[in-house]
């Protein structure tokens, strides 16, 4: 099981350091991999505070080029030099607000993996697409040309369940995860309003390999509870 906390645009360096020091003292299960994804400005603080632990630090995005005239962007070598293990790619908010496309997501993913970063690439349908019966078509399109890789994880995040309080039923999540695994045979996380009170039921589904947690990852106790809920032991 893998639990990744996406902090979005929360927690500067000072707050990140305090959170990560508290996380070090939290009772986390040994059979669950744990990752935090702070904003760029807080990555160094997270890496420093979590040094010597098994908790990984991921960025929330990474550019597809290793260097060049791309103002405001961050490359894989820069992240690696900081001690960052990997990156989220193509979160639905980046698709919605930052012009991320299926093609740019594939390019980012391919090049980050080639450089040696771990990648969690996000896919999922909007509420309109689900109601129109297009969920499978959307997932097939978003996953086109992605190939299995030991450092690749997919996060299924139904867009209609992100930040809305809505959560896919365990049965719906299981169906989507089975479809994704039939297309790309890698671990698949569920992301979409995961909380301590629904985490265990969601992650008990056979095809669910963990969770990408948003708002509930911003509190140490809440995040720790989700990590413990993910433990099969």
Kindly list the catalytic residues. Answer: 91, 157
Give a three-class secondary structure readout of 72-83.
CCCCHHHHHHHC
CA 121, CA 75: separation in Å to the nearest integer? Answer: 16
Alpha carbon distance 210, 219 (integer Å): 18
Strand-pair partners of 190: 156, 211
The stretches of 132-195 forming alpha helices (DSSP H) are 135-143, 170-183
Residue 224 has which token pair?
A: 């720790």
Answer for the pair 217, 36: CB distance below 8 angstroms, yes or no: yes
Which residue, 208, 199, 157, is CA-closest to 1?
Answer: 208
SS3 assignment, position 25: coil
């Amino acid at each position: 099981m893998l639990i990744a906390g996406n902090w979005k645009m929360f927690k500067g360096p000072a707050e990140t350091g305090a959170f990560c020091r508290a996380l070090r003292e939290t009772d986390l299960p040994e059979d669950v991999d744990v990752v935090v994804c702070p904003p760029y400005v807080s990555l160094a603080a997270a890496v420093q505070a979590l040094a010597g632990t098994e908790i990984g630090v991921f960025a929330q995005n990474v550019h597809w080029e290793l260097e060049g005239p791309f103002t405001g962007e961050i490359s894989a070598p820069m992240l690696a030099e900081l001690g960052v293990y990997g990156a989220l790619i193509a979160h639905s908010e980046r698709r919605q607000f930052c012009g991320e496309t299926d093609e740019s997501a594939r390019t980012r993913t391919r090049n980050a993996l080639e450089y040696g970063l771990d990648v969690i690439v996000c896919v999922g349908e909007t509420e309109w697409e689900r109601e129109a019966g297009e969920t499978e078509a959307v997932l097939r399109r978003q996953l086109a040309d992605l190939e299995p890789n030991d450092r690749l994880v997919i996060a299924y995040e139904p867009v209609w369940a992100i930040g809305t309080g809505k959560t896919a039923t365990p049965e719906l999540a299981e169906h989507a995860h089975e479809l994704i695994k039939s297309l790309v045979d890698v671990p698949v996380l569920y992301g979409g309003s995961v909380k301590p009170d629904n985490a265990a039921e969601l992650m008990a589904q056979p095809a669910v390999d963990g969770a990408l947690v948003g708002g509930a990852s911003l509190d140490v106790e809440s995040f720790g509870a989700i990590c413990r809920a993910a433990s099969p032991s």
